[in-house]
Chains A and B, each alone.
Chain A
């Protein structure tokens, strides 16, 4: 037979050649040093690829991902993600049950609601140095009279105010997501030895809205001021993204800047949303 094609040799090495063809090609290889060399080159290339890929691999976060997928699975079942009727039915049942429970003296639901009312009142007066624990490992604070969780105080000059939240990394991961910011917003990312990841908006950005989740902060509608993001050095991974585009990423001890930085020093870097 004539020299087998490169793809045929590859299929032979991968065990994909039909039995009859395989016998013919193997017979050819025994008498053709050129094709044996070619087959050896392909085999070595495949081995080199396998060895190289092992360098970039990291353990799959199977258990964490399974927990997250299970939550989304449940949300689908009740229709939160799909908008199906099950969602409305579940909300209705929960709502009726909650109202009914709240009317009963001494019920846990009534006590929980009363506790919430008492906790919300003092939070607006809290200073940045006295953060209080909030559900989900988050804490929030506001200065210059701004209410917690970001909105500037009515009547206060935004340039004189600041607002922010802090979250603990979730399983070592922090994600800070900015959406629809002003093109002139400055984003300062700083590494810190603190356990919390702080996100603070100041100046014209202080009217931004904040939402927190486990290891996650979302900042939307930040104006043309500054948002400072403090990343704990101990975080296993962290990402700061703007409108879906990552600007800053920390993986272990490695740092990557994925957007042009307007300034940087040893432990901090500054981005402008659209320089």
Chain B
């Protein structure tokens, strides 16, 4: 396995997945790099590298989410000050659209987000089942339900906006 070639081939997809999953480009960058560095210490078949990386990255996100959970509960009670550092007008619409997508993703359970985003990266149901730790026969049902939940949340957000 050529590390540099593997990196160039798989990094964009892993970064996109992590950025969509966490909503934070810096966190996505850190976790993607950590996943690749961990790959150096493991013997993984060429065919299995992609699923291995996404599995490790997903677990890193879950670990981070657990650590942040308590802090998030505290911050949820504290409103962000309105009006500070107003964004330029031209960015407002784009920010609103991004915010609507992130809010809709935020309404999903973590597992549902992972399933939908792995599907978006072109994983097969068998690969999704392995990476997300669910039964292969349940993937179609779980994805269909997650899609419905996302659509409802996204439409509700757009209607409210």
Residues of A within 8 A of B (CB): 5-11, 14, 16, 42, 45-46, 48-50, 52-53, 55-58, 60-62, 65-66, 68-70, 72-73, 76, 175, 191, 237, 239, 245, 249, 251-261, 264-267, 269
0/1 interface trace, chain B 8-28, chain A, CB 8 Å (1 if under): 100110011001100111100
Closest to A7 in B: B141
Given A46-B147, A57-B19, decide whether A237 and B25 contact each other with a Cβ distance below 8 A: yes
Closest CB in chain B relative to A143 CB, distance in Å: 29
Cβ-defined partner of A53 (8 Å) among B37, B87, B120:
B120
Given A48-B151, A55-B97, A62-B11, decide whether A253 and B87 contact each other with a Cβ distance below 8 A: yes
- CB pair B15–A76 under 8 Å, yes or no, is no
Of the four ranges (under 10, 10 to 19, 20 to 34, 35 or more), the interface on chain B belongs to 35 or more
- CB pair B101–A259 under 8 Å, yes or no, is no
Closest CB in chain B relative to A3 CB, distance in Å: 14
- CB pair B37–A56 under 8 Å, yes or no, is no
- CB pair B87–A6 under 8 Å, yes or no, is no
- CB pair B11–A9 under 8 Å, yes or no, is no
Cβ-defined partner of B141 (8 Å) among A5, A66, A68:
A5
Closest CB in chain B relative to A49 CB, distance in Å: 6
Task: Report the separation of the CA atoms of residues A216 and B72 in the bound assembly, to the nearest whole angstrom.
Answer: 25
- CB pair A264–B148 under 8 Å, yes or no, is no
- CB pair A16–B140 under 8 Å, yes or no, is yes
Task: Report the separation of the CA atoms of residues A73 and B94 in the bound assembly, to the nearest whole angstrom.
Answer: 38
Closest to A15 in B: B124
- CB pair A191–B116 under 8 Å, yes or no, is no
- CB pair B147–A11 under 8 Å, yes or no, is no
Given A55-B98, A61-B15, decide whether A45 and B84 contact each other with a Cβ distance below 8 A: no
- CB pair A255–B140 under 8 Å, yes or no, is no
- CB pair A55–B12 under 8 Å, yes or no, is no
Closest to A255 in B: B85
- CB pair B116–A49 under 8 Å, yes or no, is yes
Tell me, yes or no, whether B2 is within 8 Å of chain A by CB: no
Given A52-B101, A52-B104, A257-B84, decide whether A69 and B37 contact each other with a Cβ distance below 8 A: yes
0/1 interface trace, chain B 59-80, chain A, CB 8 Å (1 if under): 0000000001001000100101
Closest to B137 in A: A7
- CB pair B98–A56 under 8 Å, yes or no, is yes
Write 24 A-B pairs (CB below 8 A) sorted by A numbering. A7-B138, A9-B144, A10-B140, A10-B141, A10-B143, A45-B150, A48-B154, A52-B101, A53-B101, A55-B94, A55-B97, A56-B20, A56-B102, A60-B16, A65-B29, A66-B7, A66-B8, A68-B33, A69-B33, A256-B80, A257-B80, A258-B75, A264-B85, A269-B84
- CB pair B11–A11 under 8 Å, yes or no, is no
B101 surroundings in chain A (CB, below 8 A): 52-53, 55-56
